[in-house]
Amino acid sequence: MARILILEDDRKTAEFVSQRLRSAGHECVWERSGKVAMEHIKSAPPDLIVLDIMLPGMSGFELCRQLRRDPDYYTIPILVLSAMNSEEEMKHGLAQGADDYVSKPFDITNLIQRIDALLRSGSEAQVTDPLTNLPSAVYTKRELQRRICDQKRFAVAYVELPSLRDFAQRCGGQARQEAVTRLGQLLVKAGGAITDFFVGHMGSGHFVCIMPPEDAQAFCETATQQWRKNLETLYTDLGRHGSYQEAIDQQEKPSGAPLLDIMFCVTFRDERDFLSPQQLFEVLSQIRNMAQASRKGAGIYMDRRGAPDARH
């Protein structure tokens, strides 16, 4: 059973949704105003919020932004339920921090299913990834959303070991885990001197780092240098020095064993941009696809449109 706050100024809609949620085993609380809802959230945080946009006093968008900026409440799942149903409005709602968006009129069965999916996602999510002890994928996305709502500039670096699958096939699953663990440790160390630095593990060999824009280039270069400097030691510690030497000797051969090198894809978020975490990941995915198309993979690839030197 979950405790769900319904923030809706239409009584009939609120009662209808509340009745169905109670029938599904949940506890429901109804509020009509954003200001009162904030007081309620602070006194008894809900497990999930169903949020209308057109509210008296404070809009649902503003409430969403306030929650995503607040370190105590920014992880509460939010589902927007609104008559504002254009594609742009939906994108805007997600960019303000909502996890899902359902437009009115709505199918109640679909709404309940999406609420249950958000509740499952929140309950199953781990604060930290068990392999690396770094923030998990869910909390990394929450951290991105919090920084978006703070309306500050930042850089996002997606970090990957492009040849990790091939490395695991040649060296084994334990070697793969050790490589991922060491990469996480290296990223933490490389960002240790950066103010407001964050690194999260998205799973497998994928990491996300967040930092001030002016530090992104130096961070990527430092981390790349350190990874390559320690790469032979990694292979040796795993009893695979022969695989390292083979990869070095065959680097120029298309069919040769690839070296376990590192790749950075970086984009920048301007304080005027209201991009959702999903949109930021889409930009990073585009950069990654271009990097893979270049057939180099490893290296540093930056979206220069928002870089510090592009603002002058």
Q: Is 239 exposed, middle or buried (0-12, 13-18, 19+ CB in 10 A)?
A: exposed
What are the tens digits of pLDDT across the range 179-212?
A: 999 999 999 999 999 999 999 999 889 999 999 9
CATH topology of domain 3-124: Rossmann fold (3.40.50)
DSSP of 262-292, one letter per residue?
-EEEEEEE-TT----HHHHHHHHHHHHHHHH
Tokens at 3, concatenated: 């405790």
Residue with the two structure tokens 């590192």:
262
Write down the pLDDT at residue 87: 83
**Domain 3-124 matches domain 137-311 at the CATH topology level:** no
Write down the pLDDT at residue 252: 62
Domain at 137-311, CATH class: alpha beta
Q: How many CA atoms lie within 13 A of 260 on its CB side?
A: 30
Q: Hey, where are the domains in the chain?
A: 3-124, 137-311
Per residue of the chain (312 residues), what is the pLDDT tens digit? Answer: 899 999 999 999 999 999 999 999 999 999 998 888 888 898 899 999 999 998 888 889 899 888 888 878 888 899 999 988 888 888 888 888 888 999 999 999 999 999 998 888 765 556 788 899 999 888 898 888 888 888 788 999 999 999 999 899 888 899 999 999 999 999 999 999 999 999 999 988 999 999 999 999 999 999 999 999 999 999 999 998 888 888 888 766 655 678 899 999 999 988 777 677 888 888 899 999 888 887 667 899 998 666 666 444
How far is 310 from 263, CA to CA, in rounded Å? 22
Number of H helices, E strands in the chain: 11, 10
Q: Is 301 helix (H, G, I), strand (E, B) or coil?
A: strand
Please tell me whether the overall predicted TM-score, pTM, comes out greater than 0.85 for this model. no
127-133 CB contacts, 8 Å cutoff, 24+ apart: 129/200, 129/201, 129/203, 131/177, 131/180, 131/181, 131/184, 131/201, 132/180, 132/181, 132/184, 132/185, 132/201, 133/184
